[in-house]
Amino acid sequence: MPVPLSPEQAAFLQGPVSINVAATGSDGWPVVCRAQGCSVARDRRSVTLLLSARQASAVLAALEASGAIAAVFSRPASHATLQIKARGTSRVPLTAAHRACHAQYSSRLGDELGSLGYGSDLVHGLKLMLSSSDLLALRLSPEVIFDQTPGPDAGRVLARA
Amino acid sequence: MKPTLESLRPCLDGAVPSVVATCAADGTPNVAYASQVHYVDGEHVALSYQFFSKTRENVLAHPYAMVQVVEPGSFRHYRLKVRYLRTETSGPLFEYMKAQLAGIAAQTGMDKVFVLRGADLYRVHDIEAVDPHLPPAPPPPDALLRLRRTLDHLGASDDLAGLADRALTALTPAFGIRHALLTMLDETGSALYTLASIGYAASGVGAEVALGEGIIGVAARERIPVRINYRTGDYAYQAAMRSADRAASVIPLPLLAEAHSQIAIPLVYGGRLLGVLYAESEQDAFFSHSDEDALVVYGRHLAALITQSACEPDEPEPASTQTAPLPAGGEPLVVRYFASDHSVFIDNDYLIRGVAGSILWTLLNEYAQSGRRDFCNRELRRDSRLPLPDFGDNLETRLILLQRRLAERCPDIALEKTGRGRFRLVPGRQLKLLAG
């Protein structure tokens, strides 16, 4: 049973946040990759992550094996961080809306890092890394939402199915 | 070709946060940010343990993890397949990470709640470059070339006073270091005193740092270099905490109000700690891993030169020594000495304490009794009134310290060098010596 995101959480996930996704490989070793954008469904019960097929190959293989996924979203400007988990994911066709989301995402995250004083080399590298042409869309319905903002409360459950 | 862990050291400076993925015993993955991923050696990294997090719970049950690090100048990502080995809660690795964490914590506004509880050690089993085709970061300045140029500026060892000054000024042309201190371990081995500085309004000569306190004290106690790349508001990790005694409270360390980068390098020669070289900058991430390597080598070279300088024989004693009467007239300078800590006050203002205070008191008494002004190091080393340790360099550095404190705070009494191991007391006023 998925838990709905709050409107604030939905806005946060679709903002200029770093997104990283983890799964557990068939050998028991966890794997991780960076995502290239996120869109939240209108009912806020599902989230679509945009991934580069090549960058995410190990994560995608792990998801084939076990299905369970964790994704962490962190805003560089505030360090505010959320983690969501789900027991399963499904591949969905890539839409024009996803492509628009992707284009906007790398631009907004790059601008955010630039405004924080990260150099132009890093921002340029970020835009190169997040402009993959082998994009795919992965949908998941969050079952647990954690506050992961650095500090003693990191790991606190905000919502659970 | 697989990247080596050494080549990823720029990724481990905390500029871009690293991510760590773990999984629970039931296979549920977890992904979180790591405050600190520390380079230990070519096969190991350490992660900071501040809170009992899900990451930690997972690796204690199932020691496999993946760490993703980012190269700051290029945004290239690397994935480290790691396995948890153990947690260290004391020792050099722990102390280094604790000091660094203070810097990182301040950067994230978490300086009040980030306390290192342990250094979690991991073995690196594999490294994967995520985007090998992405352009690499611009190459950093060549630290080896910087070191070579710095050694050229340092030059040969002549006298210790000149060496102490050049040790700091030589850092400016190549490393761009403009704010630095040379601190020496005192005879008790429990504190360091400032012998020379560059880049501050007040020299701070004579300012003390307790062993184990602040970045300088930690570098000294653990005999490790400590580098903090971001401004730290953590009081304990400012260059030093001043102890509550009267001497330390009178001479403050002349530090930058807001240092964004700090580095402390122990000066070790032959297994013996001589002091700590400290440098700081108003820029974030001013000192790279390679700069740290180069400055560690520089510190060892400097320690050898200081030791060598102290071993140079004194010049032979002249046939006669100068005497001179006390200058007549005028209000006498009141010199008060406290035997408990060998502290000397001039007209109620603190001047110096410890060995340097004791030397001054001995010289002034000798002068008051006999009018003698010329002295040599050898007689001081033999003088049972002085609390001197076995090491000769300590006497020489104490004389430099005394000479500098007098020049700054009491120009009416000067110490002039008259040759190697020889010096002259030059009082400009009548003296009134009071003990206790």
Is A151's Cβ below 8 Å from some Cβ in B? yes
Task: Write out chain B residues lying below 8 Å of A155, CB-based.
Answer: 32, 51, 53-54
Residue B51 distance to chain A (closest CA, Å): 6
CATH code for the domain of A25: 2.30.110.10
pLDDT (mean) for B91-116? 71
**pLDDT band at B157, cuts 50/70/90?**
low
Residue A41 distance to chain B (closest CA, Å): 23
CA angle B198, B199, B202 (to 5 degrees): 85
d(CA B250, CA B253): 10
pLDDT value of position B242: 40
pLDDT (mean) for B148-174? 91
Beta strands in B282-403 (DSSP E): 333-338, 343-346, 349-352, 374-376
Is B407's Cβ below 8 Å from some Cβ in A? no
d(CA B254, CA B401): 16
Angle between helices B160-169 and B143-154 (to 10 degrees): 150
A60-64, B85-89, B316-320, B369-373: least confidently modelled range? B316-320
**Contact at 8 Å (CB) between A35 and A50?**
yes
Domain that holds residue A44: 7-101+132-160
In this complex, do B29 and A128 lie within 8 Å of one another by their Cβ atoms?
Answer: no
Is A131's Cβ below 8 Å from some Cβ in B? no
> pLDDT tens digits for B265-322?
999 999 999 999 999 999 888 999 999 999 999 999 999 999 888 777 777 766 556 6
> pLDDT tens digits for B411-431?
999 999 888 888 999 988 888
**pLDDT band at B397, cuts 50/70/90?**
confident
In a domain, A107, yes or no: no
In a domain, A30, yes or no: yes
Structure tokens at B407: 């020049």
> pLDDT tens digits for B32-88?
998 889 999 999 999 999 887 899 999 999 999 999 999 988 999 999 999 999 999
In a domain, A125, yes or no: no
Distance (Å) of CA B68 to CA A34, A121, B126, B293: 9, 19, 12, 24
- Does the pLDDT at position B245 exceed 90? no
Is B31's Cβ below 8 Å from some Cβ in A? yes
Q: Could you say which DSSP state residue A85 is in?
A: E
Number of domains composing chain A: 1
Give chain B's radius of gyration (CA, Å). 26
Helices (H) and strands (E) in chain B, counts: 11, 20
In a domain, A124, yes or no: no
Placement of tokens 């602040």 in the chain: B214
In this complex, do A121 and B138 lie within 8 Å of one another by their Cβ atoms?
Answer: yes
> pLDDT tens digits for A89-142?
999 999 999 999 999 999 999 999 999 888 888 899 999 999 889 999 999 999
Task: Write out chain B residues lying below 8 Å of A72, CB-based.
Answer: 19, 31-33
If you measure CA to CA, which chain B residue comes closest to A66? B27
In this complex, do B53 and A121 lie within 8 Å of one another by their Cβ atoms?
Answer: no
- Residue B145 CB coordination number (10 Å): 11
**pLDDT band at B243, cuts 50/70/90?**
very low
Is A65's Cβ below 8 Å from some Cβ in B? no
Q: Whole-model pTM?
A: 0.85
pLDDT value of position B178: 97
Structure tokens at B358: 């004791």
- Residue B130 CB coordination number (10 Å): 20
- Does the pLDDT at position A64 exceed 80? yes
In a domain, A145, yes or no: yes
Helix (H) or strand (E) holding B34: strand B29-34
Kindly report the length of chain A. Answer: 161
Short-list B348, B198, B130, CA closest to A20: B130
Placement of tokens 């991430």 in the chain: B285
Distance (Å) of CA B159 to CA A91, B5, B15, B154, B400: 74, 42, 42, 12, 10
- Does the pLDDT at position B240 exceed 60? no
> pLDDT tens digits for B227-237?
988 765 444 45
If you measure CA to CA, which chain A residue comes closest to B15? A118
List the single residue in B64, B66, B76 with the smallest CB-CB distance to A32.
B66
If you measure CA to CA, which chain B residue comes closest to A113? B16
Residue A11 distance to chain B (closest CA, Å): 20
> Strand B77-88 vs strand B37-41: parallel, antiparallel, or unpaired?
unpaired
In a domain, A117, yes or no: no
CA angle A7, A10, A13 (to 5 degrees): 150
- Does the pLDDT at position B238 exceed 60? no
In this complex, do B31 and A21 lie within 8 Å of one another by their Cβ atoms?
Answer: yes
Is A88's Cβ below 8 Å from some Cβ in B? no
Residue A72 distance to chain B (closest CA, Å): 6
Domains of chain B: 6-129 (2.30.110.10), 143-311 (3.30.450.40), 333-435 (1.10.10)
List the single residue in A29, A83, A119 with the smallest CB-CB distance to B73.
A119
Is A83's Cβ below 8 Å from some Cβ in B? yes
Q: Is the dihedral of CA B277, B279, B285, B286 positive or negative?
A: negative
> pLDDT tens digits for A3-39?
999 999 999 999 999 999 999 999 999 999 999 999 9
In a domain, A80, yes or no: yes
In this complex, do B19 and A29 lie within 8 Å of one another by their Cβ atoms?
Answer: no
Helix (H) or strand (E) holding B293: helix B289-311
In this complex, do A70 and B51 lie within 8 Å of one another by their Cβ atoms?
Answer: no
**pLDDT band at B325, cuts 50/70/90?**
low
Placement of tokens 């073995």 in the chain: B123
ipTM: 0.97
d(CA A128, CA A122): 10
In a domain, A25, yes or no: yes
d(CA A18, CA A12): 11
If you measure CA to CA, which chain A residue comes closest to B20? A32
pLDDT value of position B241: 40
Mutate to test the interface with A, among B11, B33, B125 (most CBs of A within 10 A): B33
Distance from the first to the final alpha carbon of chain B:
72
